[in-house]
Structure 1
Amino acid sequence: MKFKLFPKRFTLLKAFVIVFISISFLVRLSFVVRDFGEVDTGIYNLFKTIIIGFLFDIATVSFFTIPYLIYLLLVPIKWYGSILDRVITFIGFFLGVLIIYFSFFGEFTFWDEFQRRYNFIAVDYLIYTYEVVQNINESYPLPILIGSLLVLVAATIFLVFKYGYFQQTFHNEVGFKQKLIASLPWFTVALVCGVSVSNDQAEWSKNRYNNELSKAGIYSFFAAFRNNELAYSEFYNTISQETAFKKVKNEFVDKGEIILNPSQNEIFRLIKNRDSAQVPKKPNVIFICIESLSGKYLNSLGGDYNITPTLDSLADKSLFFTNLFATGTRTVRGMEAITLSIPPTPGRSIVKRKDNSGLFTIGEVFKQKGYERNFFYGGDGYFDNMNTYFGGNGFNIVDRGRGFLLDKNITTSRTNIEDDEVTFENAWGVCDEDIYAKVIKEADKAYLTEKPFFNFVMTTSNHKPYTYPEGKVDIPSGTGRNGAIKYTDYAIGEFLKTAQTKAWFKNTVFVIMSDHCASSAGRWELDVRNYHIPALIYNLPTVQPQKIDKLSSQIDMFPTLFAALGWDYETNLFGLNILKMEPQDERAFIGNYRKLGYLKDNKVIVLGDGKISHFYQWNSEDNSLSPLSMDKSLLETTIANYQVADYLYQNNGLKLDNLKK
């Protein structure tokens, strides 16, 4: 019997494979064209990209074939072409083609936002269907997209039917043995790929775009679904736990900080910032966490967009940090860095993980000083687990809730942003002016209690679909990021104007910092420039405005504020006082969910899963990375910080109850 990969009974399967491979190739080619200037288009590297991509496409489609192959094997010859066979075949083929086109349509929107194949962000977004669907609806012509999707599905089925693929599938005498032999290659490919082919095997190039293009979107999605939490000790370079803690502790001891339990694997310590003649200050603190604002958009940080007049004016009236970097690429990663003051751990942010309540956050330092703590968000804080995280760590919640309840174990209060308090709203929440109006209202109430307050305010307007109230700025709503940034800046200006009329203003410090950059995409393993964010402290009593050019991290902002206020406090935070940093102290942590970076002296070490590490010279002028011979001492410092951070989380070393024993 002559072997055939696609005997007649498998004709429709052949059509499906051809459709999948063809569409996947066209999607990959379109991404090459879209970002042609970023892709390594040398003949060899481009050819290798396409070939590896093709192999991942084969791996992906092999998984699609398994359910249909099982059906083909089970159905006997006498049932070929029966009504039941036709119905099941037509429905199955329709659903398969629909999934193909739907996933590829989704890839275009995902690539447009992140310049990546599907990753753990896409997995997370499955949970928050309301925000995601609304965002897509407001960002793209959804009726046209859905209509086009259905037209493509219908056209594909028509062509397959016209060329007789259905007829050949239904009218043949292919027996079980021949079907089994034809099925074995597909079962084998699926088994081998499921067991031994990992998504990171597509990452063969130094150019990140080529690596992403070598992947298959659906394969990447399921890889992310399986690996959205990574155990540091299993996947990354490590040193002995004793050495790691010793190195990290020594960094703190060298700055005069007192380790409270020196024999334990923890960093809980006492920081003394108060001079003998200094009276600690307890002003109200309002922290504005700006959505997706890169440093490059501010004229005061070298930009020429002319869209941030408020922030540029504040730069001359504040402690303005010109060389500060975000730890990650998502809001929850920024929240983690700011509140826990911790280097990023691999996988998803701690904000998104289980058992993340009762931790030592900056809120605990404010609590030590008698502050009320509040978290403001213009959308529903159910999104990205924000309410559970902030509520579980002692913050009262003020959000635009749609009925999702707080976890039953959370005892803090929740205040809703009511309909009559909303002038404009999109998929992500109320406009920035509305959230600031709520902050003003709640601050007025808090002022009457004579208890200082710390407000963490998360903005939403600088996010696709970039819509905001018309007539506020001279860029029409919904036309792009520049308009959203200009509105974001405008709203901050209006907020501060209103705040200045309040009795509590003179005793209120405003901290303003971005959660992450507008985009982390780039051709390098970690695109360093795309972690540079604006940060400032405004209206700080008895401290003269100045520009601070020291290399620093998002995790350092609140330890710096606490020092400026003259606070002595117990802490579990990794962050340092930027104002007292010596040149040898300057560093920044940057990373994504898999790559962990340590930036120092324009050099960066990148730790990757698979226990690999790379060392680069960063050229800040063109943002390029040039390979260097490994600096073993710096590598050990990098590993120590990330290893200790992960150890503390995994072993409850961030828990308040354990620290207070």
Structure 2
Amino acid sequence: MRTTRSAPLRYLLLLISLWLFTFLLTRSVLYFTHLSEAGEYFFSIFTTGLVYDLSFLAYAALPLGLYLLLCPAPLWRTRLHRAVLHAALFTSLFVMLFVAVAEWLFWDEFGVRFNFIAVDYLVYSDEVLNNILESYPIGLILSALALSALVLSLLLREPLRQILDAPLPTWRQRLASLGVLAVLAGVGLLLINQGMPRGQGGNAYARELASNGPYQFFAAFRNNELDYSRFYGSLDEGQSTRLIRSELQEPNARFVDQEPMGIRRQITQAGTPTTPNIVLVTLESLSAKYLGSNGDTRNLTPNLDALRKQSLYFNNFYATGTRTDHGLEAITLSMPPTPGRSIVKRIGRESGFASLGQQLSEVGYDSVFVYGGRGYFDNMNAFFSGNGYRIVDQSSVEEADISFKNAWGMSDEDLYNQAIKLADADHANQVPFLLQLMTTSNHRPYTYPEGRIDIPSGNGRDGAVKYTDYAIGRFLEQARSKPWFDNTLFIFVADHTAGSAGKEDLPVSNYQIPLFIHAPKLIPAREESKLASQIDLAPTLLGLLNMSYTSTFFGRDLMQEDNLPPRVLIGNYQHLGLFDGQDLAILSPRDGLRRHNQALGRSTEVTSDKRDPLIQRAIAYYQVASLGFTHHLLDWQPDASEQTALKN
């Protein structure tokens, strides 16, 4: 047809073909570097990938197609317009190459194509830009990409001249071509619904390899919050209420909530309450696998390995999620991981909960969130200040007190120095303190003060882990000389692991983290093997204080002797899981229900339904948590005396 030979369509097809080739090349490189994980899925990866690529390009090309096909002939033939189209080709080539390199680097860090993390990185551009500048030779990379784009533009100069000299279509042909583009875009939207979360089951690497990075990026804007009742399986209220209360019916708990599916309960301790100081350190990306006491042979954690023998150490402990905000959500609110955006980042709905800090502030503690970076990142300042804490972050620390900082914040040493100052001040005022710290050093670009350890700064994760360990040892050594040390609980726990990607949607072993509770004069050192996760930390801590309180926590006091069924709750932004120590139930969007039998072994995946008791337990936790959040059933109520005890 003559329209296919017209200059506007030929120019558009040239750009689409180049983008399609770039997508194919990116997928091929990722595939052939992951043959051991996804080699057997070659056909499905590349056929499904082609559908994703073409569907994305069909509607991504609409704006340019609209301009090209409506461009008047006199303007099209001007020298300036031809120069603009040459420049557009060069720019497109540069962007294509940039996206390909960015996808490779993102995959290398997270093991997935662009997702909600990439969206967050765009939102918090200051930290991310500085992180990138400190982690990679950006000037060299951009220069190489620009040179490559220029060379390709010169190679395409003659074909482009022929395209621009081609005949222009009539207005009837232009409108017909626009109609075809609109239909193709509509077909693409029907084939791949960007408003729905993508994929479940099977090999997670294969699914990610089949995806289209730019498609994933834009879809993440729409899917960063997922309505549980819309996307996930539910039970009737009566069944969910019975299940969740049976999960939380500890010996010292009495439910006082009249609301269906409410979990508010009175926790009554028999012993005398105490008010020791608490330093709760959340460590960036510290997987349990890095500990020498867990079998690592690189001697990265000598201080933590020694600390393990002197602490109450939990050796069967798991993170709930894959990001810092989900870890903070779990530790602070004792909440299962919410699908999509965590509560920490739900602006306008992040405050007013019965948090750990709020509970302790109510009995006289100075609850302080101490962050090594700038607390506006991930909405942390708003979350903690709205849930019973005061804030100390990098922006509130004098520059003279910061000896080293990178894109994410001050070094762990500087953070611990601030903690000691805060502890000294509260001790002088005879005020018990909760200092909840969040470190930043164990994060790309993995830089830290020189001369501290035998691995030079900026040489990768190993050095960052060893520096993290060094800073902890230095901090405890300084704290031991303080008058408040003997009456202080030091808690060290990771926010998440260093990498959670795997062949499965929720690879359980990749969620294991360490938990240390160190208080030589208060708590005997021993190992605890009870299956547990971050949501169990707050109730366990309050239990160690013999504190009676009204709880909206989904976690359990791990020091209680009970017969409750074991479980940990893990998830990512889309898939939600419950692991019982042997098998894993997974809830996925579109009412997807699966289980992985022998999740820490062969991990056989099977589809399931709501009759499965393990699936029912998982649904109960996540359904009740979602309803509690949306209906304010988990809000802080300082006076619960008017609550009427329920008959159980």
TM range (shorter): over 0.9
Which residue, 523, 526, 548 being the options, matches 1:546?
A: 526
Which secondary structure does the structure 2 equivalent of 1:37 belong to?
helix
Alignment partner for residue 477 of structure 1, among 457, 462, 472?
Answer: 457
Find the residue that maps to 2:281 and give its secondary structure: strand
Equivalent residue for 1:136, pick from 132, 139, 142: 132
1:55-70 mapped onto 2 (5 Å cutoff): 55-70=51-66
* CA distance in 1: counterparts of 2:577 and 2:426, whole angstroms: 41
Q: Does 1:232 align with 2:221?
A: no
Residue 169 of structure 2, aligned match among 166, 171, 174:
174
Partner of 1:379: 373
> What is the aligned partner in structure 2 of residue 194 from structure 1?
189
Q: How does 1:382-461 map to 2 (within 5 A)?
A: 382-401=376-395, 416-461=396-441
> In structure 1, how many angstroms separate the alpha carbons of the residues matched to 2:45 and 2:74?
46
How far apart in 2 are the matches of 1:105 and 1:216? 14
Deviations 1:224-275 (A, max 9, x none): 111111000000000112321232123333534111123554211111122x
Distance 1:643 1:50, change over 3 A: same
The correspondence for 1:80, drawn from 76, 80, 87, is 76
Partners of 1:168 and 1:150 in 2: how far apart?
23
Q: Is the 8 A contact 2:201 2:504 kept in 1?
A: no
Give the Cα–Cα distance (whole angstroms) in 2 for the partners of residues 95 and 648 of structure 1: 49
Are the aligned partners of 2:280 and 2:434 in contact in 1 as well (CA < 8 Å)?
yes
Letter of the 2:12 partner, please give it: L
Rounded to whole Å, the distance in 1 between the matches of 2:45 and 2:191 is: 20
- C-alpha distance in structure 1 between counterparts of 2:420 and 2:42, whole Å: 55
2:645 maps to 1:650: no
**135-144 vs 582-591, which deviates more?**
582-591
Equivalent positions of 1:213-612 (< 5 A) are 213-253=209-249, 255-274=251-270, 278-354=271-347, 355-401=349-395, 416-539=396-519, 541-580=521-560, 582=562, 584-612=564-592
Given that 2:358 and 2:389 are in contact with CA atoms closer than 8 Å, whether structure 1 keeps it comes out as no
Structure 1 Cα separation of the partners of residues 515 and 230 of structure 2: 35
Counterpart contact for 1:15–1:160, Cα < 8 Å: no
The answer to whether the 8 A contact 2:201-2:505 is kept is no
How far the C-alpha of 1:493 sits from its partner, in A, is 0.3
Give the Cα separation in 1 of the matches to 2:633 and 2:52. Answer: 41
Q: Among 199, 211, 227, which residue is 1:203 paired with?
A: 199
Please say if residues 330 and 336 of structure 2, whose CA atoms lie closer than 8 Å, have aligned partners that are also in contact. Answer: yes
Structure 2, unpaired ranges of 5+ = 643-648
Instruction: Please give the per-residue CA displacement for 1:402-424, whole angstroms capped at 9, x wherever unaligned.
Output: xxxxxxxxxxxxxx111111111
* Structure 1: distance between partners of 2:4 and 2:219: 28
Task: Check whether the contact 1:6–1:14 (CA below 8 A) recurs between aligned residues.
Answer: no
Structure 1 residues 625 and 132, CA gap change in structure 2 (3 angstroms): farther
> How big is the shift at 1:548?
0.6
In the TM superposition, residue 185 of structure 1 has moved relative to its aligned partner by 3.4
- Residue in structure 1 matched with residue 606 of structure 2 by the alignment: 627
- SS in structure 2 of the partner of residue 440 of structure 1: helix
C-alpha deviations, 1:187-243, integer Å up to 9, x for none?
222123235513678637611111001100000011111111100000000011232
8 Å CA contact 1:72, 1:179 repeated in 2: no
Q: TM-score, normalised to structure 1's length? A: 0.92
Q: Number of residues paired by the alignment?
A: 638
Deviations 1:324-349 (A, max 9, x none): 11100000000000000011111111
Q: CA deviation at 1:113?
A: 0.9
Name the amino acid aligned to 2:350. Answer: N
Q: CA deviation at 1:75?
A: 2.1
Q: Distance in 1 between matches of 2:473 and 2:121?
A: 32
Question: Match of 2:36, SS?
Answer: coil
Cα pair 2:593 2:607 within 8 Å, conserved: no
Rounded to whole Å, the distance in 2 between the matches of 1:430 and 1:589 is 32
Partners of 1:646 and 1:198 in 2: how far apart?
24
Q: In 1, distance between residues paired with 2:564 and 2:388?
A: 35
Partner residue, 1:405: none
Please give the per-residue CA displacement for 1:108-153, whole angstroms capped at 9, x wherever unaligned: 2211110111111111111111110111111111111111221232
TM-score (norm 2): 0.94
The answer to whether the Cα contact below 8 Å between 1:9 and 1:172 also exists between their aligned partners in 2 is: no
- Whether the 8 Å CA contact 1:378–1:458 is kept in 2: the answer is yes
Aligned counterparts of 2:199 and 2:625: Cα–Cα separation in 1 = 26
Offset at residue 526 of structure 1 (A): 0.8
The 3-state SS of whatever aligns with 2:35 is: coil
AA in 1 matched with 2:30: F
In structure 2, the residue matched to 1:101 is 97
Q: d(CA) in 2 for partners of 1:162 and 1:64?
A: 26
C-alpha change, 1:659 and 1:160, in structure 2 (3 Å) is farther
- Aligned CA RMSD, in angstroms, stands at 2.1
Shift of 1:49: 0.5
Correspondence for 1:52 among 48, 51, 63: 48
Cα distance in 1, alignment partners of residues 601 and 246 from structure 2: 34
CA contact (8 A) 1:7 1:179 kept: no
The letter of the residue matching 1:526 is L
Alpha-carbon distance in structure 2 between the residues aligned to 1:446 and 1:186: 67
What corresponds to 2:32 in structure 1? 33
C-alpha deviation, 1:162, in angstroms: 2.7
Structure 2 counterpart SS, 1:211:
helix
Distance in 2 between residues matched to 1:434 and 1:537, nearest whole Å = 22
Secondary structure class of the residue paired with 1:615: strand
Q: Is the 8 A contact 2:200 2:588 kept in 1?
A: no
Q: What is residue 408 of structure 1 aligned with on the other side?
A: none
Distance across 2 between alignment mates of 1:591 and 1:439:
31
Deviates more, 1:253-262 or 1:354-363: 253-262
C-alpha separation between the residues in 2 aligned to 1:297 and 1:543? 25
Secondary structure class of the residue paired with 2:622: helix
Residues 39-86 of structure 1 show CA distances to partners (whole Å, capped at 9, x for unaligned) of: 2x12xx211101111111111222232112111222233443124532
Cα distance, 1:469 vs structure 2: 1.1
1:145 equivalent to 2:141? Answer yes
Given that residues 4 and 10 in structure 2 are in contact (C-alpha distance below 8 angstroms), is that contact kept between their aligned partners in structure 1?
A: no
Instruction: State the one-letter code of the partner of 1:385.
Output: N
**SS of residue in 2 equivalent to 1:656:** coil
Amino acid at match of 1:366: L
Query: Once the 2 structures are TM-superposed, how far is the Cα of residue 316 of structure 1 from its aligned partner?
Result: 1.1
C-alpha distance in structure 1 between counterparts of 2:165 and 2:222, whole Å = 38
